[in-house]
Amino acid sequence: MRTIEKRIIVYEYSTIWDLPAAEQKLLMASREAALNSYSPYSKFNVGAAVLLDNNEIITGNNQENAAFSESLCAERVALFYANSCYKDIPVRAIAVTASNSQGITHEPVKPCGSCRQALMETEVRFNQPVRIILEGRNKIQVFDGVDNLLPFAFKPDSLG
Ligand code: THU
């Protein structure tokens, strides 16, 4: 038996103003996107903003359905829309903001497993890490690459 240890790095900031200007702008876009969420069932509004290498920002939000499993998270709505608009432009970063009836969540919202997998595919597709910026009311967490959120991932090379 041997033990394998993997290092996960999370950068924490106490305010949006401690981030570089481009990332502040991206978080503003994810906040705004959350306002247009269609989430009548969970009443949990999530917005995501994707920054592309051409500096374009594409946003999305969670879209729910009375058949709950047909809903889609904000991250994948934004990511797939960005990829469908600009199929050859790499994704540099994604910012996510969530709010409930009390406003922006205290804890930064974490992407679900399916969104982490989709983000991983994006890294493989464009051969570059995606920076993930998650907003909470009192702190912002930044993950420099999906490996920090999804270690030991299933990737195309897993197919053999
Ligand atoms: N949701 C997202 O859009 N992104 C996340 O990172 C977590 C969850 C959505 C799915 C569903 O519409 C609602 O939030 C409650 O789970």
For 4-45, the DSSP string reads -------EEESSGGGS-HHHHHHHHHHHHHHHT-B-TTT--E
10 is a domain residue: no
Q: Whose CA is nearest to atom 14 of ligand 1?
A: 44
> How many whole angstroms from 153 Cα to the centroid of ligand 1?
21
Q: Please count the other Cβ atoms lying within 10 Å of the Cβ belonging to residue 144.
A: 14
What pLDDT, on the 0 to 100 scale, is given for residue 97? 98
| Tens digit of each residue's pLDDT (9 = 90 or more) over 41-90 | 999 999 999 999 999 999 999 999 999 999 999 999 999 999 999 999 99
Between CA 111 and CA 132 the distance in angstroms is 9
- Tell me the residue range of the domain where 87 lies: 32-144
Domain total in the chain: 1
18 is a domain residue: no
27 is a domain residue: no
Q: Whose CA is nearest to atom 10 of ligand 1?
A: 73
Catalytic residue among 5, 12, 32, 75: 75
56 is a domain residue: yes
106 is a domain residue: yes
- At residue 121 the predicted structure's pLDDT band, cuts being 50, 70 and 90, is very high
- At residue 18 the predicted structure's pLDDT band, cuts being 50, 70 and 90, is very high
- At residue 122 the predicted structure's pLDDT band, cuts being 50, 70 and 90, is very high
- At residue 118 the predicted structure's pLDDT band, cuts being 50, 70 and 90, is very high
What pLDDT, on the 0 to 100 scale, is given for residue 27? 98
| Tens digit of each residue's pLDDT (9 = 90 or more) over 103-114 | 999 999 999 999
Q: State yes or no: is 75 an active-site residue.
A: yes
Q: What is the mean pLDDT of residues 8-29?
A: 97
> How many whole angstroms from 2 Cα to the centroid of ligand 1?
37
What pLDDT, on the 0 to 100 scale, is given for residue 1? 96
157 is a domain residue: no
16 is a domain residue: no
Q: Pocket residues for ligand 1 (CB within 6 Å)?
A: 39, 42, 44, 46, 62, 64, 71, 73-75, 109, 111-112, 115
140 is a domain residue: yes
Between CA 33 and CA 104 the distance in angstroms is 13
Predicted structure pTM score: 0.97
CATH of the domain at 41: 3.40.140.10
What pLDDT, on the 0 to 100 scale, is given for residue 141? 98
| Tens digit of each residue's pLDDT (9 = 90 or more) over 126-135 | 999 999 999 9
> How many whole angstroms from 45 Cα to the centroid of ligand 1?
8
Between CA 40 and CA 84 the distance in angstroms is 27
- At residue 92 the predicted structure's pLDDT band, cuts being 50, 70 and 90, is very high
Residue 77, classified by CB atoms within 10 Å of its CB into exposed (0-12), middle (13-18) or buried (19+), is buried
Q: Which two tokens stand for residue 16?
A: 């949006």
Q: What is the mean pLDDT of residues 134-147?
A: 97
